Chains A and B, each alone.
Chain A
Amino acid sequence: MNVSANGSDGGAEAPKLVSRPAPGANLIVKGVRVLDPRTGIDAVRDLVVRDGEIAEISEPGGAPEIERAEVVDGDGLLALPAFVDPHVHFRVPGQEHKEDLETGTRAAAAGGYCAVIAMANTAPPIDSAAVLGSVRDRAEREASIPVGFVANVTRGMAGQELTEMAELAEAGAIGFSDDGLPIANARVLRRALQYQRLAGGVIALHEEDPDLSARGVMHEGEVSAALGMAGVPAVSESTTIARNCSLALYEGARIHVQHLSARASVEEIARAKAAGVQVTCEASPHHLALTDEAVRSLDARFKMNPPLRTEDDRQALIEGLRDGTIDCVATDHAPHASEEKEVPFEEAAMGVTGLETAFAALYTDLVLPGVLPLELLIERMTSGGEPFGIEAPRLETGALANLALIDPELTWTVGEEGYESRSYNSCFGGRELTGRVLMTVAAGRVAFRQRSFALGVAS
């Protein structure tokens, strides 16, 4: 299945990704560095998009004229396959004061994303075909990029009874997750893994042992000891991953482990993969760029679950991303209203926004210092749909256009011009980052344009 929307996969089932219909783009980007590690291209080219399809990637100056096409000077810019985020919270239904499908997809497009997968811990949660249908209807009116919706594994996210997973899959659920909460009961999870044989769909898991996490609000370690705040030990995550990988192996099921935060977790995943478990996993930009040292400020913008951990954990995540133990980058974009963050740390809601800063943060902190090659970052930021059956976008002739146009030298201060997201709980707020998305084409439509980015239109 490609990154496209509204039934282009042609099956009898409902399409997994939905978005607002829009006309296909006509666009010529002249003299841009086209970089796609999957197709192996890294060269300055003219990139031509006609009716939403990549019509040509030609030698500079060789682009044909297209009537009414937008012509962009790509000098000094990068054209990348657009990113795919397997983990966002768009808060619909029920918490539209934090985000909705319009603002959420706008934030995603502003971050260079052409598709995202929205979690189901909404109010009410997406645990029935009726609720799933209603959010998909809204996405068809409001989403500027394709959105896939997971449905819950258990009713009401209570961790006790399975949802009607087969019906939900037919109604368009792209996978299943109780994200926000772990499925603490191993018997319930085991039933879900068995039922996957009927319903299909990967089961994405928020890995945490609620008894070990207890009332923890940050990583358990030197910083929590100094601040006197209750800690979430790394073993809360890693022991749960170990248990659930064993269950997945036993049932022959496919799982996707969400937001890895600790070295021990990376090691569990590596062991599981070596043992033949069908497991994929993700890590988030904040865990790859920040550590619990940031929490010394007691600023609730650094509060999320799982928490920021130590430099050693961060290094393990980077290594896991490099060697492929970690399959993809996921923002875990979790918008919250200011009144939920402008409170003492222990009281604050968990979660940070991330869609608009993901590429710039990782480009600034990992690529520019030479920690990771840009090609690897692109691969990991575009592969997020694969665990859910969505192929990574490719820059090649004939493909549906999913591309991000990026100025790799533009330095900007996060939040200075506001955010596209309705919420502004960014852990990178106020930081100067390098690398900015100027334009995003998602499923063939221009989904985002940096406002200051001047464009010419050919007559």
Chain B
Amino acid sequence: MKHLIVSCAALLASTNVCAQSQNEWIALRQLAASVMRVQAIVDGKASNASGVALTPHKLPRRGQVS
């Protein structure tokens, strides 16, 4: 239970919904690692959205911009 509370607190730092079980939290944490922020410039303004790749890619090294 203590682990779950700590886990939820950590998750709340970056998300808006807390999982209802430790398994659910683990699942959400894994899934969140596959979603990224997408930004495009539309009519001169930044348009923000989300995205998830369909297929495997080689991960760049930390901080690398490719």
Tell whether A pairs with B: no
Binding site for A on B (CB under 8 A): none
Please report A residues at the B interface, Cβ cutoff 8 Å. Answer: none
